[in-house]
C-alpha cells in the first residue's frame, strides 16, 4: 500500500505504470559544489558531498557535520536528487581516521576511512540489507542551495506531456528555469501526486534538449520545435523507453487539479491542533480535532489511514480524503480526530520499522485521548479505518472495550497473500492485459509470495527471486522489490488474517466497499468479513457494496489506480451519507 496506492499492490511479476516514478514527495532544492581547495580543509566538520550509485538511479548525498555545545559531533544529511533536506543523523563517531554515522529515520548507516588531509572519505552506505560504495569529498565552503535567476530563456516555463503505456497514461510536467548557473528544472508527475522532483542536469545544444533525472534513473531527450510550441522526444527509465511530446503550458492554473469537495475556511465548527502520547511506543502523535458547534457530549470517531506514510488528511494524488470526510462528519454533529502517521508530518516515531500491529497501538492512543476530551461522550467513540485502517479498526475493537463501533472503508477481509494476487490480476486487466495472461501472472505471483513467506534470509531470497524472475523484471527493479518484500510491514501483512480479529468483534460494524475497487475487491473481501462477524455472533453489522465506486470511494469508470488523480471527486456523496447516517443511527 504505497502513498499513491493505499493498499500497496506489489507487482513482482512485472512493473505497472505507477512504478515509472519512485515515490518522491519532498520539496525540491538546487545544489552546486564549490571548487575543492584541499589546504583549506582543517577538520571533519563541514559539508561532504558524494554520489550513491544504485541499480537504476544515482543519488547525490550531502552530509553536514558540526559540533554541538558539548563538543560532540552532530549532523544532518540531504538527498539532493530526492529533494530531501535536513534528514537527522542519529549518531556520529570519528576515531583513528574512521568515520561512522547512523540515520535511523531511514534505516541507513555509513562507514568510511578519512584520508590524511581530511579531503576524502572512502566508504560504504548500507540500507535495508543492501550496501553500496560511497565516497564523500570535503567542500571548503557552504554548499550552495539556491541558484540566482537570470534572464529567461526562450524555453523557460512549464512543459506538459503524457506517457502512454499498457493502456494507461501518466501526465508529466517539466518546469524549466534559466539561472546564472545555466538551465535548471523540476519534474511533476501529476497522476501520482508527486511535485518538485529535482532534475539533475539540463543540457541544451541548439534545438536538442537533454534532461537527466538521476534520482529516479530517468532521462528525456528531445528536439525543440522552431516555433517553440513543443519539444518532441523520448523518456527513458528502467531499461525502457516511451515517446513523449511536451507542449508549452500557457496557463499554469490548468496544472492545478480541481478538488471541489475540499472545505474552505472559516469552518462552521471548532478546529484544534493537538498532540497525544503512545506510551507503549514512546512516541507522540500530532493530530487535528474538529468539534461541532454547541454544547453537550458529542459522539466521536478516530480516522485511521491506509498504508504507506500518510498525513492526517490521507493526502494522495492531489486528494485529501480524510479532510473531506472529517468536514462532512463534523458538520453532522460528530467530533473527529485525525492524526499524522508515526514518523510522518509532525508525529514522532519511525514509520519504516513499524507493522500493522504497531499502528494499532497508535490508534488505541487516539481512543485514549478522545476519552480525555470534555466535549466527547466516552460511551460513543468509534473507529473509521480506510484500507489498512480497515484492518486496524477490528484489531483495536476486539480488545478495547472503549470502542463503541467501527466503520471499515475498503478494509481487507483476507490475508495479504490472497489479496495481492487478485489485486494484481484486476489492475493488470484494467490496464489492458488479456484475462488469460493476467490469471497466469497471478498464479506466478502467488508462488513468489509463498517463497517470500518461507525464506527469511534476504540474500537467499534475492538470489531465488532473481532466478525466478530472470527476463521478466528489469534488473534495476529487483533490488527495490526485494527490499520491499523483506520489510517488517510486508512480512506481517502477508500472513495476517483480518478474520482473526473480526471473529472477536461484537460491537456494531459497517463494512463498505466500492463495486469497482480493484485493490480490495468486494467479491473477495466482503463475504469473508460477513462470515467472520457471523462466527463472532455479531448480528449488528452491515456489509455493503456501493455501485460505481473505486478504492477511494470515487465515482469511477474502471477503478484503476491510474484514474485516482484524474477524478475531481474526492469521496462520493453516496459514501459520505452512508457513513454519516449509519454512525448517527448508532
Long-range interactions of 480-487: CB distance < 8 A, separation 24+:
480/22, 480/55, 480/56, 481/10, 481/12, 482/129, 482/458, 483/128, 483/129, 483/130, 484/10, 485/10, 485/12, 485/452, 485/461, 486/128, 486/129, 486/452, 486/458, 486/461, 487/128, 487/352
Q: Which of 266, 293, 277 is nearest to 375 (CA)?
A: 293
For the residues 144-148, what does the mean pLDDT come to?
A: 71
Q: Where are the domains of the chain?
A: 38-138, 157-255, 270-415+496-585, 417-493
CATH topology of domain 157-255: Lipocalin (2.40.128)
In this structure, CATH architecture of domain 38-138: Beta Barrel (2.40)
Matching fold, domains 38-138 and 270-415+496-585:
no
**pLDDT attached to residue 251:** 86
Higher pLDDT, residue 468 or 91: 91
Kindly list the distances between the CA atom of residue 468 and the CA atoms of 442, 447, 454, 472, 482, in Å, as whole numbers in the listed order. Answer: 14, 10, 15, 9, 13
**pLDDT attached to residue 15:** 24
- Per-chain mean pLDDT for the chain: 88
**pLDDT attached to residue 5:** 37
Query: Domain 270-415+496-585 maps to which CATH number in 3.40.1280.10, 1.10.10.10, 3.40.50.1820, 3.40.605.10?
Result: 3.40.50.1820
Q: What is the pLDDT of residues 3-31, one digit of tens each?
A: 333 343 333 322 222 222 323 222 233 33
450: confidence class by pLDDT, cuts 50, 70, 90: very high
Q: What is the pLDDT of residues 27-51, one digit of tens each?
A: 233 333 333 333 333 589 999 999 9
Residue 144: pLDDT above 50? yes
**pLDDT attached to residue 142:** 64
- Supply the pTM of this predicted model: 0.77
Burial of 153 (0-12, 13-18, 19+ CB in 10 A): middle
Amino acid at each position: 500500500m504505497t502513498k499513491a496506492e493505499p493498499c500497496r499492490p506489489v507487482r513482482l511479476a512485472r512493473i505497472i505504470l505507477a512504478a515509472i516514478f519512485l515515490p518522491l514527495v519532498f520539496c525540491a532544492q538546487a545544489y552546486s559544489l564549490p571548487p575543492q581547495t584541499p589546504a583549506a580543509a582543517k577538520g571533519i566538520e563541514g559539508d561532504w558531498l558524494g554520489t550513491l550509485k544504485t541499480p537504476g538511479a544515482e543519488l547525490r548525498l550531502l552530509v553536514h557535520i558540526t559540533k554541538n555545545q558539548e563538543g560532540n559531533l552532530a549532523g544532518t544529511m540531504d538527498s539532493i536528487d530526492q529533494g530531501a533536506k535536513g534528514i537527522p543523523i542519529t549518531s556520529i563517531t570519528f576515531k583513528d581516521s574512521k568515520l561512522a554515522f547512523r540515520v535511523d529515520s531511514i534505516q541507513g548507516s555509513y562507514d568510511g576511512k578519512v584520508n590524511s588531509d581530511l579531503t576524502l572519505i572512502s566508504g560504504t552506505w548500507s540500507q535495508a540489507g543492501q550496501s553500496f560504495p560511497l565516497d564523500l569529498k570535503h567542500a571548503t565552503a557552504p554548499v550552495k542551495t539556491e541558484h540566482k535567476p537570470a534572464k529567461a530563456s526562450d524555453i523557460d516555463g512549464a512543459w506538459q506531456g503524457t506517457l502512454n503505456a499498457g493502456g494507461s497514461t501518466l501526465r508529466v510536467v517539466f518546469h524549466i528555469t534559466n539561472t546564472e548557473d545555466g538551465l535548471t528544472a523540476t519534474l511533476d508527475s501529476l497522476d501520482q501526486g508527486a511535485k518538485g522532483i529535482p532534475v539533475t542536469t539540463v543540457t541544451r545544444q541548439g534545438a536538442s534538449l537533454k534532461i537527466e533525472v538521476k534520482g529516479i534513473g530517468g532521462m528525456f531527450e528531445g528536439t525543440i520545435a522552431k516555433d517553440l510550441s513543443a519539444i518532441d522526444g523520448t523518456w527513458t527509465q528502467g531499461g525502457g523507453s516511451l515517446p513523449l511530446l511536451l507542449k508549452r503550458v500557457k496557463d499554469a492554473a490548468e496544472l492545478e487539479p480541481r478538488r471541489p469537495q475540499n472545505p474552505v475556511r472559516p469552518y462552521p465548527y471548532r478546529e484544534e491542533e493537538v498532540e497525544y502520547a503512545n506510551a507503549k511506543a514512546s512516541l507522540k502523535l500530532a493530530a487535528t480535532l474538529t468539534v461541532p458547534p454547541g454544547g453537550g457530549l458529542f459522539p466521536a470517531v478516530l480516522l485511521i489511514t491506509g498504508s504507506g506514510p500518510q498525513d492526517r488528511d490521507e493526502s494522495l494524488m492531489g486528494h485529501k480524503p480524510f479532510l473531506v470526510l472529517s468536514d462532512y462528519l463534523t458538520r453532522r454533529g460528530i467530533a473527529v480526530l485525525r492524526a499524522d502517521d508515526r514518523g510522518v508530518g509532525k508525529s514522532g516515531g519511525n514509520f519504516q520499522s513499524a507493522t500493522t500491529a504497531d499502528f494499532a497501538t497508535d490508534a488505541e492512543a487516539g481512543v485514549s485521548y478522545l476519552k480525555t476530551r470534555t466535549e466527547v461522550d466516552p460511551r460513543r467513540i468509534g473507529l473509521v479505518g480506510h484500507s489498512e485502517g480497515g484492518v486496524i479498526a477490528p484489531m483495536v475493537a476486539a480488545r478495547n472495550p472503549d470502542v463503541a463501533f467501527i466503520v471499515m472503508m475498503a478494509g481487507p477481509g483476507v490475508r495479504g497473500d490472497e489479496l495481492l494476487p487478485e489485486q494484481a490480476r484486476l489492475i493488470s486487466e484494467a490496464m489492458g492485459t488479456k484475462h488469460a495472461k493476467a490469471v497466469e501472472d497471478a498464479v506466478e505471483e502467488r508462488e513468489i509470495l509463498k517463497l517470500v513467506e518461507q525464506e527469511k534470509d534476504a540474500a537467499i531470497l534475492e538470489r531465488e527471486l532473481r532466478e525466478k524472475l530472470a527476463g521478466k523484471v528489469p534488473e534495476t527493479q529487483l533490488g527495490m522489490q526485494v527490499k520491499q518484500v523483506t520489510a517488517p510491514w510486508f512480512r506481517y501483512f502477508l500472513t495476517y488474517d483480518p478474520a482473526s480479529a473480526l471473529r472477536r468483534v461484537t460491537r456494531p460494524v459497517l463494512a463498505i466497499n466500492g463495486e469497482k475497487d480493484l485493490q480490495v475487491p468486494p467479491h473477495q473481501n466482503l463475504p469473508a468479513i460477513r462470515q467472520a462477524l457471523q462466527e463472532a455472533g455479531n448480528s449488528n453489522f452491515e456489509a455493503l457494496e456501493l455501485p460505481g465506486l473505486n478504492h477511494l470511494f470515487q465515482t469511477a469508470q474502471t477503478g484503476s489506480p491510474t484514474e485516482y488523480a484524474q477524478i475531481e471527486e474526492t469521496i462520493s456523496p453516496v459514501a459520505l451519507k452512508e457513513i454519516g447516517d449509519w454512525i448517527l443511527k448508532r
